[in-house]
A and B are shown apart, each in its own frame.
Chain A
Amino acid sequence: MVSEAAGSVPEIALASVGKRYRNATVALDGISLRVERGEFVTFLGPSGCGKSTLLKIVSGLSPASEGQVRVNGMTPENARDLLSFIFQDATLLPWRTVEANVGLGLELDHTARALRNERVSRMLELVGLGHVANRYPRELSGGMKMRVSIARALVSRPRILLMDEPFAALDEMTRDRLNEELLRLYAEQRWTVLFVTHSVAEAVFLSTRIVVLAAHPGRVAHEIPVSLPWPRTAETRESLAFEEAVTHASRLLRGVFHA
């Protein structure tokens, strides 16, 4: 049901999307964007540019005030089965073990227990959490918690991942490692990703395309294709091409700040 539509219907399409709040603040204005299946698109921009709002709109958690949003040709509300949202904080349920947290989505979908357990334990192995399956979130480090959060998002086999600054609260080394792991999983599972970050290096490392947003109102300022070769690993960060891409993106971002 997917492959035949892939050519014509974009995975995510935004047409002149705007978001106004009741106090007349314009958070987003005239955002038009087309994301093809399998792209890794990162939104980069100053605070107040509406990056997070954009993800909320694509997920249907917060409706657009203007324009049209289509996810695989559907309204965001109807496309919920395709989407998984990963929040800035791990947002785990503190009263549930790691295992039970990861299984939450399947439990809410009434997936049979045996199947649920099997998929959860396979997912925990995949993200290297097998040994903490029965721990509670408070016993885990920030990086581990975020890994649980990612496992929870992936276990429902989403086609599209929406990630709202998922690694912002982590130290740089943990963040780099999780970036690498994320790309490893991306290579295997080929989701479409919309990713929000403040970090230019993170954006360059992860993305196939960077969308630089300007603030007040939030709008698209630049689109930067990232052509670094795959697979990207820790060594990628040491390459000249990576440095050049970071410099280029930083310069464009700086232009947005001063505008």
Chain B
Amino acid sequence: MSKRGWLAINSILVLICLLGLWQTVIWLNRLPAYILPGPLAVARVLSARYPVLLRSLWITAEEAATGLAASVIVGIAVAMLFAQWRWLRQTLYPYTILLQTVPIVAIAPLIINWAGAGIFAVTIVTFIICLAPIIANTTQGLISVDENLIHLFVMHKASPAQILFKLRLPNAMPNLFTGIRISAGISVIGGITGELFAGSTRVGEGGLGYAMIYANNQMETSYLFALVLAAAVLGFSFFFLVMFFEWLALHHWHESKRAQIAE
């Protein structure tokens, strides 16, 4: 069997052991489910309430994906402007860092104040939290081009647009994907954080964050665990989806493809 196959089997064995240990601790201590539900309790609530849970998951997935997509488009555009004009980059770069350091929980209520509660506000929260990694990584890739390659293009009297689209942008692809990978993970966090504040516009209809607040208030701890699990699965799926696209785009030519995924 391949090395990768063994690793997968090992991971699954570890998971089974952990789950077994967890369930044993619950049984031995006779812990009630509202304090700490065991894996079996979580599995039961999952099978009973998966239609509602899937609806919540879908809402969060939509918000996170839309916010992420918007941040990729805007982030690339901003990075291209930054790469084209050094003064612009130097003037505005500190603000991109600010974007990253301001705690999203602090500004989420403000955004909801302005945009109104609901999916749109949550998408904006996700967009904001995803934007900085895209800008920072893409800009880095656009400006770190081998000087001789620039010389080569200059010798061929290439236009600024040709240098941007045929040299800088392809050169920035690995960095862009690093940025998207980082943002994909946090987009789900952004969506859930937004939902904690924005809730839902209709009673009983909301994303994972909304459902978490609801479950917490109702002391439905088993369902809360199921929601956490769903959020983790969603984050993972985003991350691996991006990795897949990254592989599609780069595996032909990028030398450090492997090292990059490992980081």
Q: Which residues of A come within 8 Å of B, CB atoms?
A: 59, 61, 80, 83-85, 87-89, 91, 93-96, 104-105, 107-109, 136-138, 156
Chain B, Cβ-Cβ closest to A110: B162
Cβ-defined contact, B156 with A104, below 8 A: yes
- B170: Cβ under 8 A from any A Cβ: yes
- 5 additional A-B pairs beyond A61-B155, A87-B148, beta carbons within 8 Å, are A59-B155, A89-B146, A93-B170, A95-B253, A109-B157
Q: Given that A93-B170, A108-B157 are known contacts, is A87 also in contact with B255, CB under 8 Å in the complex?
A: no
* Residues of chain B within 8 A of A84, CB atoms compared: 155
- B252: Cβ under 8 A from any A Cβ: yes
Q: Can you name 21 A-B residue pairings with CB atoms under 8 Å?
A: A59-B155, A61-B151, A84-B155, A85-B151, A87-B151, A88-B148, A91-B146, A93-B167, A93-B170, A94-B254, A95-B170, A95-B173, A95-B252, A95-B253, A95-B254, A104-B156, A105-B156, A108-B157, A108-B166, A136-B252, A156-B156
Cβ-defined contact, A91 with B148, below 8 A: yes
- B158: Cβ under 8 A from any A Cβ: yes
- B154: Cβ under 8 A from any A Cβ: yes
Cβ-defined contact, A137 with B253, below 8 A: yes
* Residues of chain A within 8 A of B156, CB atoms compared: 80, 104-105, 108-109, 156
Chain A, Cβ-Cβ closest to B157: A80
Interface centre among A59, A88, A94, A95 (most CB of B within 10 A): A95
* Residues of chain B within 8 A of A88, CB atoms compared: 148
Cβ-defined contact, B157 with A91, below 8 A: no
A117 to B14, CA, bound (A): 56
- B248: Cβ under 8 A from any A Cβ: no
How many residues does chain B have at the interface if contact means C-beta atoms less than 8 Å apart?
Answer: 20
* Residues of chain B within 8 A of A137, CB atoms compared: 253
3 interchain residue pairs of minimum CB distance: A108-B156, A95-B253, A87-B148
Near A by CB (< 8 A), chain B positions 206-263 give 252-255
Q: Which residues of B come within 8 Å of A, CB atoms?
A: 146, 148-149, 151-158, 162, 166-167, 170, 173, 252-255
* Residues of chain B within 8 A of A61, CB atoms compared: 151, 154-155
* Residues of chain A within 8 A of B149, CB atoms compared: 91, 93
Chain B, Cβ-Cβ closest to A108: B156
Q: Is the interface of B mostly helix, strand, loop or mixed?
A: helix
Partner of B255, one of A83, A96, A108, A138: A138
A121 to B253, CA, bound (A): 21
* Residues of chain A within 8 A of B255, CB atoms compared: 94, 138
Q: Given that A95-B170, A108-B166 are known contacts, is A85 also in contact with B155, CB under 8 Å in the complex?
A: yes
A95 to B253, CA, bound (A): 5
* Residues of chain A within 8 A of B158, CB atoms compared: 108
Chain A, Cβ-Cβ closest to B257: A138
A75 to B: closest C-beta gap in Å: 14
* Residues of chain A within 8 A of B151, CB atoms compared: 59, 61, 85, 87
B34 to A: closest C-beta gap in Å: 56
* Residues of chain A within 8 A of B153, CB atoms compared: 108
* Residues of chain B within 8 A of A80, CB atoms compared: 155-157
Cβ-defined contact, B155 with A136, below 8 A: no
B160 to A: closest C-beta gap in Å: 12
A80 to B152, CA, bound (A): 11
Cβ-defined contact, A87 with B170, below 8 A: no
Chain B, Cβ-Cβ closest to A92: B149
* Residues of chain B within 8 A of A156, CB atoms compared: 156
A136 to B: closest C-beta gap in Å: 5
A89 to B149, CA, bound (A): 10
A107 to B165, CA, bound (A): 13
* Residues of chain A within 8 A of B146, CB atoms compared: 89, 91
* Residues of chain B within 8 A of A94, CB atoms compared: 253-255
Cβ-defined contact, B253 with A138, below 8 A: yes
Cβ-defined contact, A87 with B252, below 8 A: no
A108 to B166, CA, bound (A): 9
* Residues of chain B within 8 A of A93, CB atoms compared: 149, 167, 170
Chain A, Cβ-Cβ closest to B250: A95
Q: Given that A61-B155, A85-B151 are known contacts, is A136 also in contact with B162, CB under 8 Å in the complex?
A: no
A48 to B: closest C-beta gap in Å: 19
B167 to A: closest C-beta gap in Å: 7
B148 to A: closest C-beta gap in Å: 5
A170 to B: closest C-beta gap in Å: 17
* Residues of chain B within 8 A of A85, CB atoms compared: 151-152, 155
A85 to B151, CA, bound (A): 9
Cβ-defined contact, A89 with B148, below 8 A: yes
Interface centre among B148, B152, B157, B173 (most CB of A within 10 A): B152
Partner of A87, one of B152, B162, B253, B254: B152
A109 to B158, CA, bound (A): 8
Chain B, Cβ-Cβ closest to A94: B253
